[in-house]
Homo-oligomer: A and B are copies of this chain.
Amino acid sequence: MHRERFYTLTASCPDRVGIVARVSGFISAHRGWILETAFHAEQPDEGGGVGRYFMRIEIRANSLPFTPDEFRERFQPVAEELGMEWKITDSAAKRRVVILVSQQEHCLYDLLARWQSRELDVEIPCVISNHDTFRGFVEWHGIAFHHVPVAPDNKAAAYAEVRRIFEEACGDVMVLARYMQIIPPDLCAAYPGRIINIHHSFLPSFVGARPYHQAWAKGVKLIGATCHYVTADLDQGPIIEQDVIRIDHTDTVDDMVRYGKDIEKAVLARGLRYHLEDRVLAYGNKTIVFR
């Protein structure tokens, strides 16, 4: 992580000779100073075909003679030549993170501590919850709190409200910080790659409800957590980050829940950070994570 302002170019395109030269040549022709680079060639399928090339380049902002918008304009011909999907972001433009939470505090406290210390250098325009539990805590931090109850008979209206709040807040990313509700398909579809969840198991094991109970019944020796993008397919979206912790026969389900919280908040924080730093490039149902 750099302290000075920088732009981050992320892109993917069909693999071929000369991609790195073409892109880095463009940057260097404008005297752009590269701070950090990462490239990855995803192999073609076994049946043959063309692989796909992914990249992420950080460029010192004050080394370039133009704005991000002008960069976009000038780089477009290069991108077209290479058949690229791409974007460029500016470290000076803070992302707007909307947090959804239910009644467990561990992820919320963890995210707000990181935000307080500016480790998580974002705007948090608001927190949305289906309970009123954390209103005081959130508002004490100077962050707006929206209580949007979700009941079996009001789901459509409730999620319309969530969406309205998110739009009004100009949210870039929605973080489900142990939000114990299933996001409806239309909301998933509205924000592909912009809703991040923390699931309390090492996926693909123990999809759905009460994963620690499932883990206990199975007698596994490690439990985990998974940070992933939310899609309409429950707990099946592209995985961003995972981790595990060792347990043993002395641990009850309550103990596993307690241990699990430590993994959940760490994995969510790492996954969110990778996303915010444009380190995650999803393709198909998988991710490239340029750590």
Contacts and interface: CB of A to CB of B under 8 A. Distances in A.
Contacts of A39: 34, 36-37
Nearest to A20: B24
Given A22-B28, A239-B218, A289 B249 contact: yes
A144 interface: no
A243 B224 CA distance: 12
Contacts of A278: none
B113 A286 contact: no
Contact of A117 (B29, B105, B221, B222): B105
Contacts of A119: 258, 261
A219 B113 contact: no
Interface stretch (A77-85, A183-191, A198-206): A198-206
Interface of A: 1, 3, 17-22, 24-25, 27-29, 31-43, 63, 104-106, 108-110, 112-114, 116-117, 119, 136-137, 140, 202-206, 218-222, 224, 238-239, 241-244, 248-250, 252, 254-255, 258, 261-262, 266, 269, 285-289, 291
A55 to B, nearest CB: 9
Contact of A220 (B113, B204, B255): B204
B117 A113 contact: no
Contacts of A19: 34
A25 B17 CA distance: 10
Nearest to A270: B262
B17 A33 contact: yes
